[in-house]
Amino acid sequence: MRRRKVPWSDLFDAARKARQRAYAPYSRFAVGAAAYFEDGQIASGCNVENASYGLSVCAERHAVGCGIARFGPRRLLAMAIIADGAVPPPPCGACRQVMAEFAGGELPVRCRTLRGREKRFTLRQLLPHAFSNAFL
Which run of H or of E encompasses 82? strand 76-83
**Does the active-site annotation cover 49?**
no
Rg of the chain, C-alpha, whole Å = 14
Cβ-count burial of 36 within 10 angstroms (0-12 exposed, 13-18 middle, 19+ buried)?
buried
Q: Of 49, 60, 101, 106, which one is the catalytic site residue?
A: 60
Closest-CA residue to 114 (of 72, 77, 81) = 81
129 contacts: CB under 8 Å, gap ≥ 6: none
What residues are labeled active site? 60
